[in-house]
Amino acid sequence: MSVAAADPKHNVQTVRQNFYDKISKQDMTPLWEVLRNVVTKEPKSKASAKVWKYDDIKKSILEAGELITPEEAERRVLVLENPTLRGQSRATNSLFAGVQLIMPGEVADAHKHVSSAIRFVLDGEGAYTAVEGEKANMARGDFILTPNWAPHDHGNPGKNPVLWLDVLDMPTINHFETSFMEHYDEKAQNTNREDGDSLERYGSGVLPDGQTIDTFKHRSPVINYTYARTRPICERLMKTGDVDPSHGARVRYSNPVTGGHVMSTMGAWLAMFPKGFKGKDYQSTDGMIFVCVEGRGSTKVDDKVLEWGPNDVFVIPPWKKYAHNCPEQTVLFSISDRPAQEALGIWREGK
C-alpha cells in the first residue's frame, strides 16, 4: 500500500472529494463522475409503459364536470400523468396528454399559445372546436389540429357530454423555455369558415393557385382530418395486403402542402389490424401515445402486457420493444414526437 493511500489525508478518494467540494462552490463538477449516466449507450426512458382505462377516465372526468366549470378551470382537463413522471404534467418526456370534457351549453374561451395541440374525439357529438376561424364539428375518431399560436375555443351546443383526448407538445416547448399565451376579450372567435373548409380546400389533390410551401412549412393547413375519410383508407390498405408486420395497415396524417408530418413537433397515424394480427417486435426513439378506436387487443412491452379496448389510452416510452396482438379487427390511433426528432436528425428505429 502506498503512503498516500494509507494516509487518509492523502487517500485519493478523499483528495478528489475535497477537490469536488471546492469546485462545487464555483458551480463546477467533474464530468467523469456522471458521464455514464448522461451519455447512455442507448435510450433509457424515465417514462413507463401504461394504460389508462376509458371507464376510469370517463367516470372521473364526469365527476369533475360536477366540481368545476370551464370558466373556472379555463380547460376542464384531467392530465394523464405517466406514473414515473408524476407532478410533471406529461405522458411521455416530450408530450402532454389529457382528457377534456365539455358539457351541453358550455364554452371554453378563446385563447392561443405556442404549444401545438391535437384533439382526438372519444365520445359524444354536437361539440365543436373553432380554429383560425373554422368551426370544426367533432365526431368520434376525428383528428383535429390546433397549430402553434392558432386561436382556438370550444363549445357544445348539443345534448350530450363530449370528451376528447388532448395531446400537446407543451413539455417540448417548456424544454426550450419558449412558452407564450394570450387570451381574447371575446369568449368565442368569429367563424367565417364552415366545417370542413380547410380539408376541402387543401386536402382534395389541388391547392389554391400560387400557394407556396413556406406558408405551411411547419404545419398543415387542414384543421380536421375526419375519421369518416381516414378509416376507409386503412381498410383499403388492409384489403390489398398492405399490412406492415409491426404497424398493420397504417397511414400517416400528412400536410398536403409539403407531404411531411402535420406539425413539426408531433406526428400522427391511424392503423387497422386484421383479426388475429400478431405483430413483430418494434422499437424507435419516439415516445408513443396510442388510443384504441375499435376492437381490442394487447401490446407486449418488455415483460409487461398492456390490455386495451375502445377509448383506452396507452403509452410506449422511447426505445422499448413492443408488439401488438389483435384477436379481432382493431383500429389504433397514435401520436408521437417523431417529427421533432427527424427535424433534429436524431430519430432512429431498431431493425
Residue with the three cell numbers 382556438: 152
Amino acid type, 204: S
**Least distance between ligand 1HN and beta carbon 216 (Å):** 21
Tell me if residue 59 falls in helix, strand or coil: helix
- Which grid coordinates belong to 74? 379555463
User: Closest Cα partner for 297 from 251, 333, 331?
Assistant: 331
- Which grid coordinates belong to 341? 426528432
When the beta carbons of 129 and 298 are compared against ligand 1HN, the nearer one is 129
Residues that bind ligand 1HN (CB under 6 A): 75, 77, 96, 98, 100, 108, 117, 152, 166, 168, 170
**Least distance between ligand 1HN and beta carbon 263 (Å):** 15
When the beta carbons of 47 and 167 are compared against ligand 1HN, the nearer one is 167
Could you give the CA distance from residue 261 to residue 145 in angstroms, rounded to a whole number? 12
When the beta carbons of 243 and 315 are compared against ligand 1HN, the nearer one is 315
When the beta carbons of 117 and 271 are compared against ligand 1HN, the nearer one is 117
**Least distance between ligand 1HN and beta carbon 309 (Å):** 24
**Least distance between ligand 1HN and beta carbon 111 (Å):** 6
Number of residues assigned to the chain: 351
When the beta carbons of 107 and 234 are compared against ligand 1HN, the nearer one is 107
Could you give the CA distance from residue 288 to residue 301 in angstroms, rounded to a whole number? 12
Amino acid type, 235: E
**Least distance between ligand 1HN and beta carbon 115 (Å):** 6
- Contact between 151 and 131 under an 8 Å Cβ cutoff? The reply is yes
Long-range contacts of 127-130, Cβ-Cβ distance < 8 Å, separation of 24 or more: 127/102, 127/154, 127/155, 127/156, 127/157, 127/158, 127/162, 128/154, 128/155, 128/156, 128/157, 128/195, 129/153, 129/154, 130/154, 130/155, 130/188, 130/189, 130/191
**Least distance between ligand 1HN and beta carbon 95 (Å):** 11
When the beta carbons of 109 and 285 are compared against ligand 1HN, the nearer one is 109
User: Closest Cα partner for 329 from 300, 306, 295?
Assistant: 295
* Opening angle at CA 45, ends 41 and 48, nearest 5: 145
Could you give the CA distance from residue 37 to residue 7 in angstroms, rounded to a whole number? 31
> What is the number of H-type helices and E-type strands within the chain?
9, 21
The residue of the chain with the least Cβ separation from ligand 1HN equals 166
**Least distance between ligand 1HN and beta carbon 75 (Å):** 4
User: Closest Cα partner for 213 from 222, 203, 221?
Assistant: 221
Helices (H), 240-277: none
When the beta carbons of 79 and 207 are compared against ligand 1HN, the nearer one is 79
Could you give the CA distance from residue 296 to residue 300 in angstroms, rounded to a whole number? 14
When the beta carbons of 109 and 286 are compared against ligand 1HN, the nearer one is 109
**Least distance between ligand 1HN and beta carbon 181 (Å):** 8
**Least distance between ligand 1HN and beta carbon 130 (Å):** 11
When the beta carbons of 111 and 231 are compared against ligand 1HN, the nearer one is 111
